[in-house]
Amino acid sequence: MEPILTYDYTPPPNHQDGSAEYFRYFRTTNDLNALPDHLNLEGLGELRLSGSDTIATTGQIGRIARAANVQNLEQLYIVDLRQEPHVVADSYTLTLRGPKDWANVGLAHDEALQREAAWIDDLRRSEHLKIDSAEDFKTGTRPMRSVTLHRPEIVSEQALVERTGARYARLTVTDHLRPDNDAVDRFVDIVRQLPPGAAMHVHCKGGRGRTTTFMAVYDMLRNARRVSADGIIDRQGGLGRYELKKIGGQNAVFRQDRLSFLYLFHQYAVQNPGGQPQTWSEWRASRRDLTHDGR
């Protein structure tokens, strides 16, 4: 099946209070009140870390900054995890959507970005855009709900973020899968270069699988020597209302693979706090007990 142009969610009405700041799945380590008492919270409140679903407005970026107590937006680093092509058009986030959200599956990082740039150029040449519901596409609901946008302003997420003065970084992580080694190396490099006092926000499309995974990865880079792998996985799952340890359903094999990666990454982070001195790939290469793909 060929990928189609979809909108991720219907934006809240503009007149609705807080509509420009609305997220479906937002959480921050500056607010841990909802977490159960049995979880180990050591070091969690110090992270200045948040996560969410997709970003479509500068108001959402303002909310992220306030949640992190960021006064200077140059101290806010937003990491976009989405491999699939996406763009903002009149407060809609549009995605080139294939089955399993795999429109770019198998593409290297630079290839995915080149494809997205060409796709955005094509959209900007269109007078009218008919966009279908991503949810209906995913569930098989037919006919799909659709919206037509007339001469919309089309803005890449990078441009939207940088309008506010915040910093933008991009990884291209395939939905449902463990991150590949290149993406992990890129993330470790981002963490290495964070200035003192910086806040980080990570997001994917739905704000669940990829976002929770990378919040756990960041937590491990900061706290693996103090908190066990299970402790970090459990608390990030609780914060994001997404159980990384729940293995089942049609994506069970992918979920197990992702969980195995997190346990292995915790070992790396214990030996390389903050991603130093070795990169993820260097550490893997030094481990003779691992197979070529790090499993």
Q: How many helices (H) and strands (E) does the chain have?
A: 9, 11
Judge contact between 176 and 100, C-beta under 8 A: yes
Length of the chain: 295
Q: Which of 5, 4, 196, 190 is nearest to 81 (CA)?
A: 190
CA 34, distance to chain mean position in Å, is 22
Q: Is residue 275 annotated as part of the catalytic site, yes or no? A: no
Q: Classify burial at 131, counting beta carbons within 10 Å of its beta carbon; exposed 0-12, middle 13-18, buried 19 or more.
A: buried
Judge contact between 29 and 214, C-beta under 8 A: no
What H or E segment, with its residue span, contains residue 50?
strand 49-52
Choice among 39, 204, 227, 244 that is catalytic: 204
Scored b (16 or more CB within 10 A) or e, 23-32 reads bebbbbbbee
Q: Classify burial at 59, counting beta carbons within 10 Å of its beta carbon; exposed 0-12, middle 13-18, buried 19 or more.
A: middle
Residues forming beta bridges with residue 173, ordered by sequence position: 82
How many whole angstroms separate alpha carbon 291 and alpha carbon 174?
Answer: 21
Backbone angles phi, psi at 214, to 5 degrees: -75, -25
Residues in CB range of 248: below 8 A, 6 or more apart: 255
How many whole angstroms separate alpha carbon 52 and alpha carbon 1?
Answer: 29
Judge contact between 30 and 67, C-beta under 8 A: yes
Q: Which residue has the tokens 């790396």?
A: 268
Catalytic positions = 204
